[in-house]
Structure 1
């Protein structure tokens, strides 16, 4: 006969089978689901009776419509109508909605207005809505793109075709974050008063009569402001003294920006070469993170024309992080930018993005590094040229247009040298003999989008062979490159052989 189990054994088994997560109070479980999307939160209701109504206590609506084509086309693959999902998510809450995040394709106007009206009167704190239409909601508004119809503004037939912003949003006293993509900004004529708003993000916004300026003027406590592809913005004044992060991305009609802030810490600019004193900010020395992304090619541009952007860099004397994306190649006009880096004694992290066209580009990178003696982390994001898009393709994918617009044609035979038999890398003598002080203290190198092309390998070999104190080399392979174990082994073998410090770790990260 089998001996009876002791009480202690039964207790241990019971403890092992016990669901500790379900024992948590409802408020804690709701907080866990707070960080998940609405679909994931609702699915938990099928776990057990304990979880059946937990999702109703999560004050978040976060849904994305997977549709990309015609609204009334084939919907057989979609299990539940997206419009019903949104309606059920809003009405099925036990608590008022605090965060409303929606990515929708052509929502019906009657339901759409009801959604916004309901959530805006319930103590809403975040309103993040991206509307998608037809192809025109994907085209980048940048005159330096590769498409023959590239422009900084919306097409004439597109103007006033976006959905107007609901007036309920501007009357919401509790709103702290407002993020709008693909909207017609319709600000009340009497202005707005949104004293609680801290974050404002506007992307691809149609507006008139200085609507963007009137909206910003009604937000006295803004801390984070991002304007992306807003062609109506020409001059801008931000009076919020609490503003600590400002980004202007491809607002090519903007000519002057005034920031009356006491503590600007993060500054990002993407566009063409700006005019003199483009950004006015008396406390620019407080900036800690600076991103400069010049859309237009600097090929044939004189050094004096680059002065306005280098002045932006030199006046941010306390910068610790700098991201530079230059065209047509990485570190182009390195002499002018090298002189600017002399004024950044606290620079610890430098990111360089652009095309590695030849070994002269690698030399430009080494020139740029000469005036960064205290650098700890160096990130390199090599890009490859892209062919111009044909005229009949009017849809843009939103990616960078580093391509033959600058006189660089895509080399279809340019593939990873690791795939062939010739694995020897010859570093030019002038580059090899270049002394860069920061390489003797550099702790980490990040190679993002690393494909192993000849020019990428030249630069990688030079840096690894000179970085005697390097602790880690992080590699991120391109998304379209098969990251097999065999390829990683080849990369590790080659990079390890080049190391000046044999203790340097080679690590890999998945493409984001």
Structure 2
């Protein structure tokens, strides 16, 4: 090659190396950005004007609405409008779709992810068009569709709550406000989903933004209601979606499924359903049409009372979060590798039936929300649930009180041993007057994990159980921040008894402390662990918010408890 040949001048618009790349490569790079940021690339130069058409992923999240000061603005009238308000979010999503259609050679769509803050009945036809476009433009290698119509909706109304008892004097009150339950009968018929229109011809038009028309003044009175009094309208998924052969991942939030009698999703691998009002029979009918389904997540699906996934799909991961009316679960667990549960303590030992055993489950997470489990029946049912996963390598336990999820003071020592457990993560609140109780609970946990190598403790602050949003909790923002602040009392007497626990003496290599706040019970627990674990060679500690001098004092104290002075330490 003759290097003496002249190169293009920078003024020609092709001087930078990035712009010399093909549209296909540039589109692939921009696909890792949110659609709004990717679209801004068109402002760089004329070379980037049509690059957005090569983007194969459209991802948009509606920003949180600002708190509006209505004093003296006369906004009691529906005709009032903020002149500086941004355009409706639905218009932004439609504009991103239209921008891809401005060129006939637009890249096939691999993913469409839309997270709305507040879906309203008038948005039904627009959302229908988004789904139809995604199905029509789906890439041959697969399509990921993520449609969350109320993505900031609370997952659960059960705050963590400590009960009174011996050495248990701290109890957190419930939230002041609770969201009103959804009643479909209260939704006006005009707000329910209209019939799906055929938008194939509309989507083929290049620049006609009127194809995605939206009513800017709809549901004014609905938006002026407090969030806990709003009745959420439903969007029904169009039926043609349940026969999309390219669909690989489907995540739906606050949508009605109403699947056909025979769904056919041969490529679907991941399914997430959040706040879906359909009963368990509809969910099972959908799963039956997904022979390759490997990852299933259900969140706050209150209409699902029973779930059976036996035959056909063989799950590798199952997550059940806050489906509080779910009474029985039966699954084919021959290939199950991860299980997550969040909710109340199961009412019976037959809550979970695993056909094929649990020998391959390597990760298990059990999160008991609501009131602390203290009765013998609750502890027995919780212990029986945990014993299904004695072969897990990573166990995550979370509850109102740290260490009480299945390993309370009434747990017999003859319980099954987690001999294969390598990493244990425990989360919960730890009141200052519970120093000896938590040490006893942690001793029992460690005695049942003889081969434990890593231990992580995450401390909920004492206000964790309240609704910590300034608008609904009744607390000022600065008061909520104060609950995180550190304190330090060097004169506290800390109980740190010696213990001959096998995993502490020889196996435990790593300890992680998250949101460490100095409380007497937390310091006593940290001292107990560090002073009895000579094999620990890695320590990671994240402090709660507080002054630097307090963090330095705590850091010196923690380092002084370490037996292995050459251990790697990190404080944040």
TM-score in terms of structure 2 length: 0.73
Distance across 2 between alignment mates of 1:203 and 1:176: 18
Question: What is the correspondence of 1:216-255 to structure 2 with a 5 Å cutoff?
Answer: 216-239=287-310, 240-255=312-327
Q: Residue 419 of structure 2 corresponds to which residue in structure 1?
A: 345
Change (3 A) 1:313 1:51: same
Q: Report the Cα offset of residue 246 of structure 1.
A: 0.2
Contact kept? 2:159, 2:465, Cα under 8 Å: no
Change (3 A) 1:277 1:498: same
Match of 2:487 among 406, 410, 417: 417
Q: Residue 196 of structure 1 corresponds to which residue in structure 2?
A: 267
Distance across 1 between alignment mates of 2:364 and 2:37: 37
Match of 2:338 among 262, 266, 272: 266
Q: Residue 3 of structure 1 corresponds to which residue in structure 2?
A: none
Change (3 A) 1:466 1:55: farther
Aligned length: 472
Match of 1:322 among 386, 390, 395: 395
Change (3 A) 1:18 1:463: farther
Distance across 1 between alignment mates of 2:462 and 2:256: 34
TM-score in terms of structure 1 length: 0.81
Q: Residue 407 of structure 1 corresponds to which residue in structure 2?
A: none
Match of 1:427 among 486, 494, 500: 494
Contact kept? 2:28, 2:56, Cα under 8 Å: no
Higher relative contact order (CA 8 A, sep 6+): 2
Change (3 A) 1:261 1:415: closer
Contact kept? 1:160, 1:184, Cα under 8 Å: no
Change (3 A) 1:121 1:49: same
1:131 aligns with 2:176: no
Match of 1:361 among 423, 438, 450: 438
Q: Report the Cα offset of residue 155 of structure 1.
A: 5.4
Question: What is the correspondence of 1:365-376 to structure 2 with a 5 Å cutoff?
Answer: 365-376=442-453
Q: Once structures 1 and 2 are overlaid, which stretch shifts more, 247-256 or 454-463?
A: 454-463
Change (3 A) 1:354 1:388: closer
Contact kept? 1:227, 1:247, Cα under 8 Å: yes
Distance across 1 between alignment mates of 2:314 and 2:85: 45
Contact kept? 1:142, 1:152, Cα under 8 Å: no
Q: Residue 310 of structure 1 corresponds to which residue in structure 2?
A: 383
Distance across 1 between alignment mates of 2:304 and 2:424: 30
Distance across 2 between alignment mates of 1:72 and 1:346: 65
Contact kept? 2:320, 2:342, Cα under 8 Å: yes
Contact kept? 1:237, 1:258, Cα under 8 Å: yes
Q: Residue 358 of structure 2 corresponds to which residue in structure 1?
A: 284
Match of 2:253 among 181, 187, 194: 181
Q: Residue 115 of structure 2 corresponds to which residue in structure 1?
A: 103
Contact kept? 2:31, 2:58, Cα under 8 Å: no
Distance across 1 between alignment mates of 2:414 and 2:317: 22
Q: Report the Cα offset of residue 41 of structure 1.
A: 1.3
Q: Residue 83 of structure 1 corresponds to which residue in structure 2?
A: 90
> Does the residue aligned with 1:178 lie in a helix, a strand or coil?
strand
Q: Report the Cα offset of residue 159 of structure 1.
A: 7.4
> Does the residue aligned with 2:421 lie in a helix, a strand or coil?
coil
> Does the residue aligned with 1:319 lie in a helix, a strand or coil?
coil
Distance across 1 between alignment mates of 2:146 and 2:487: 44
Distance across 1 between alignment mates of 2:235 and 2:335: 35
Distance across 1 between alignment mates of 2:84 and 2:414: 56
Match of 1:168 among 214, 230, 240: 240
> Does the residue aligned with 1:285 lie in a helix, a strand or coil?
coil
Distance across 1 between alignment mates of 2:508 and 2:565: 14
Q: Once structures 1 and 2 are overlaid, which stretch shifts more, 291-300 or 372-381?
A: 291-300
Distance across 1 between alignment mates of 2:550 and 2:45: 45
Match of 1:64 among 61, 64, 67: 61
Q: Residue 140 of structure 1 corresponds to which residue in structure 2?
A: 156
Change (3 A) 1:161 1:337: farther
| Offset from partner CA, 1:83-117 (integer Å, 9 cap, x none) | 33211211222123220101113363332222222
Q: Report the Cα offset of residue 227 of structure 1.
A: 0.5
Q: Report the Cα offset of residue 452 of structure 1.
A: 2.0
Question: What is the correspondence of 1:482-493 to structure 2 with a 5 Å cutoff?
Answer: 482=546, 485-493=548-556
Q: Residue 381 of structure 1 corresponds to which residue in structure 2?
A: 458
Q: Report the Cα offset of residue 132 of structure 1.
A: 2.4
1:119 aligns with 2:134: yes
Contact kept? 1:338, 1:370, Cα under 8 Å: no
Q: Report the Cα offset of residue 123 of structure 1.
A: 1.5
Distance across 2 between alignment mates of 1:22 and 1:40: 17
Contact kept? 2:155, 2:299, Cα under 8 Å: no
Which blocks of at least 5 consecutive residues in structure 2 are unaligned? 69-77, 101-105, 162-173, 187-229, 475-479
| Offset from partner CA, 1:10-56 (integer Å, 9 cap, x none) | 99xx9xx9744444443333222222211121222333444443332
Q: Residue 213 of structure 1 corresponds to which residue in structure 2?
A: 284
1:45 aligns with 2:42: yes
Distance across 2 between alignment mates of 1:75 and 1:101: 28
Change (3 A) 1:166 1:491: farther
Change (3 A) 1:18 1:492: farther
> Does the residue aligned with 1:334 lie in a helix, a strand or coil?
coil
Q: Report the Cα offset of residue 435 of structure 1.
A: 2.5
Q: Residue 402 of structure 1 corresponds to which residue in structure 2?
A: none
Distance across 1 between alignment mates of 2:271 and 2:79: 33
